[in-house]
Amino acid sequence: MKILRETATITKESTAPRAVPWKVLVVDDEPDIRRLTSLNLRGFEFGGRPLTLLEAASASEARTLLQQHDDIALALIDVVMETDDAGLKLVEYIRKDLKNLMIRLVIRTGQPGVAPERFVIDNFDIDDYKDKTELTTQKLYTSVRGSIKSFRDLQTIELNRVGLSRILAVTPDLYDLHRDKLEDYFQGVLMQLIGICKLGHSGMISTIDGLVATIDGQDIQIRAGAGDFDDSPDGDRRRGEIVALCSKAVVEHQMPPQLRSGAMVVPLRVGEEVFGFVYLEAGEELSESDHELIQIMANQCAAALDNFRLHHSLEESYDEAIDMLGQVAEFKDSATGTHIRRIQEYTRRLAIALGCPEGEAEVYAKASRLHDVGKVGIPDNILRKPGRLTEDEFEIIKRHTKIGDAVLKRSPSLAVARLVARSHHEKWNGKGYPDGLDGDSIPFVARLVAVVDVFDALVSVRPYKDPWQTHHATDEIRQGIGHHFDPTIATTFLGMLERGEMDDLIAAATAPAADHLHAAGE
């Protein structure tokens, strides 16, 4: 979403940090034990977050609760309940069936003889074993606190693992990022930062507040969000409020007092230029080392964004260079440029129909615009001759393929266009020019352009002829299969024509205002 910078009104309720409770499951068939556990843990807090106790009187009830709550931090489990080993089977269910390796499991038993400690520890994936007789108020507090701390630390590790994996997944393509990949990159960065802040875990992403946004002129683009910044109406409202405050903070170097306690705004900056910001709401006080690590991550994020923008700026320059060279060739040939735009779109659609990925098809399409760039080296009196060319004149026209190759070979980035310029007049049977290539030895992109260039020349208005009827031009392409044209490419193109997939381009070519290209030699 795009939000204009504006003044926001923050309610008092929104400035108070949220304290999401830790969930603890107490599984015991004795009501007194469950009640005593609740009393002993009354007022318990860890990391500024209280407890919520979930009670189950049997392993069966516990299974139901575990299915309903996938964010339970700790389970205190009795062994002997509906059966002598109900608690141990519940442990196996949690670890093996639910595949929940995050929850901390503490066995509490009043009958240690039924489930000896060493046997249970050696054979079941638990985190602690306690005899109920030794669980005083203090020892229960210690056990619960240690278990929740371990759970929180596992959350942090998991968040960093998931976040880092997302970053690494897009890093190899960092200079070829499209919008969807860019969002994944920023979401990965946000998850890493959330992990550093110890705000939750990957299964509880909705309990975490944070967003990454970029600034472009007067607009702010939100790239990633979690917690209160999800896609709900309330999330939209909070995004608008926070974006306005954070953009002011990073531009004016002032921390607005309306932000929540514990909030952190980190600018995405390269040199003196601010690209955006990261906003985080920590549930507990962050250390100085945490702040430093978050800043390092933000700096890396900013550098990636800077590289992304630079790459796409270069890509735009490349596109402009192709456009200019294409226009030079077309104006040289008394054209307005619509021919090369049609060839570009014909090529793109045909490449996709042949199974090329979108990106590859786009490369071929752009390269096709320069198929006749070599005509800049052909004398005007020959290039614009209204009548039929002599044999000598045609030999001069044929030089445009080698001239185009010579012009484009100066730039490695135009390598594909160079193949098109040199080889789009080669023929499948080897009787084309300039090199007499045949079959698959002709570059694939040149074989694409060969088909669409001939077809467009046939159906286009020319100074010396009316446009061919589409069915006549189609017959000409069909007759050239296996001689002039690659059979697979030409057959695919004919199928597209039959299905009407090129009708708009044909209409543009035959319109009265269409460009008037000289098709000599084509």
184 within domain boundaries: yes
Regarding whether 217 and 82 lie in a shared domain, the answer is no
Regarding whether 353 and 276 lie in a shared domain, the answer is no
Label residue 519 by pLDDT band (50, 70, 90).
Answer: very low
d(CA 282, CA 279): 10
> What is the torsional sign of CA 374, 380, 384, 387?
negative
Residues 281-307 pLDDT 10s: 665 666 666 677 677 777 777 777 777
Domain boundary residue, one of 110, 127, 147: 147
Cβ atoms within 10 A of the Cβ of 43, count?
Answer: 7
315 within domain boundaries: no
The mean pLDDT value of the chain amounts to 77
Phi, psi torsion values for 422, nearest 5 degrees: -80, -35
Regarding whether 132 and 116 lie in a shared domain, the answer is yes
Residues 250-261: what's their mean pLDDT? Answer: 68
Residue type (1 letter), 440: D
Residues 273-278: what's their mean pLDDT? Answer: 68
Annotated catalytic, 332? no
* Cis amide leading into 112 (omega within 30): no
Regarding whether 170 and 214 lie in a shared domain, the answer is yes
The edge-to-edge listing of strands for the beta sheet with 263-270 is 2-4, 219-226, 209-216, 273-281, 263-270
> Which candidate in 96, 375, 385, 465 is catalytic?
375
d(CA 153, CA 146): 11
Residues 465-486: what's their mean pLDDT? Answer: 91
Is the pLDDT at 86 greater than 80? The verdict is: yes
DSSP symbols for 134-194: G--HHHHHHHHHHHHHHHHHHHHHHHHHHHHHHHHHHGGGGGG--HHHHHHHHHHHHHHHH
Regarding whether 293 and 210 lie in a shared domain, the answer is yes
**Domain around 143:** 21-147
Find tokens 């007759």 and name the residue.
479
**Do 362 and 386 contact (CB within 8 A), yes or no?**
no
**In terms of pLDDT, which residue wins out, 20 or 138?**
138
| pLDDT at residue 24, as a whole number | 96
**Do 463 and 386 contact (CB within 8 A), yes or no?**
yes
Residues 101-114: what's their mean pLDDT? Answer: 86
d(CA 316, CA 134): 72
| pLDDT at residue 206, as a whole number | 26
Check which CATH number belongs to the domain holding 66 and give it: 3.40.50.2300
| pLDDT at residue 175, as a whole number | 45
Residues 236-254 pLDDT 10s: 666 677 777 777 676 666 6
Is the pLDDT at 76 greater than 70? The verdict is: yes
What total of structural domains would you count in the chain? 3
Regarding whether 143 and 180 lie in a shared domain, the answer is no
Domain boundary residue, one of 306, 321, 343: 306
323 within domain boundaries: no
Residues 175-196 pLDDT 10s: 444 555 666 666 666 666 666 5
Regarding whether 376 and 234 lie in a shared domain, the answer is no
Q: What is the DSSP letter of 492?
A: H
**273-281/45-46 β-pairing:** unpaired
Regarding whether 34 and 143 lie in a shared domain, the answer is yes
Partners of residue 331 on adjacent β-strands:
none
| pLDDT at residue 331, as a whole number | 64
Phi, psi torsion values for 80, nearest 5 degrees: -90, 110
Of 2-11, 157-166, 385-394, the one with minimum mean pLDDT is 2-11
d(CA 33, CA 45): 21
d(CA 159, CA 199): 10
Check which CATH number belongs to the domain holding 249 and give it: 3.30.450
Residues 367-403 pLDDT 10s: 998 888 888 888 878 877 777 888 998 899 899 999 9
Domain boundary residue, one of 110, 132, 147: 147
84 within domain boundaries: yes
| pLDDT at residue 228, as a whole number | 58
341 within domain boundaries: yes
SS3 (DSSP) at 27 = strand
Label residue 36 by pLDDT band (50, 70, 90).
Answer: very high
Of 148-152, 245-249, 485-489, 505-509, the one with minimum mean pLDDT is 245-249
Regarding whether 360 and 338 lie in a shared domain, the answer is yes
**In terms of pLDDT, which residue wins out, 42 or 386?**
42
Residues 43-52: what's their mean pLDDT? Answer: 89
354 within domain boundaries: yes
Regarding whether 8 and 35 lie in a shared domain, the answer is no
Best-predicted range by mean pLDDT (20-24, 52-56, 320-324, 382-386): 52-56
Regarding whether 52 and 28 lie in a shared domain, the answer is yes
**In terms of pLDDT, which residue wins out, 30 or 376?**
30
Of 74-78, 118-122, 237-241, the one with minimum mean pLDDT is 237-241
375 within domain boundaries: yes
Counting residues of the chain whose pLDDT is more than 70, the rounded percentage is 66
| pLDDT at residue 388, as a whole number | 80
Residues 202-248 pLDDT 10s: 222 223 355 555 555 445 455 555 555 555 555 566 667 777 777 76
Label residue 359 by pLDDT band (50, 70, 90).
Answer: confident
Residues 61-81: what's their mean pLDDT? Answer: 93
Regarding whether 338 and 478 lie in a shared domain, the answer is yes
Tokens of 78: 């009795």
Check which CATH number belongs to the domain holding 360 and give it: 1.10.3210.10
Is the pLDDT at 504 greater than 50? The verdict is: yes
| pLDDT at residue 274, as a whole number | 66
| pLDDT at residue 156, as a whole number | 77
The three-state (H, E, C) secondary structure of 75-125, written as one string:
EEEECCCCCCCHHHHHHHHHHHHCCCCCCEEEEEECCCCCCCHHHHHHHCC
326 within domain boundaries: no
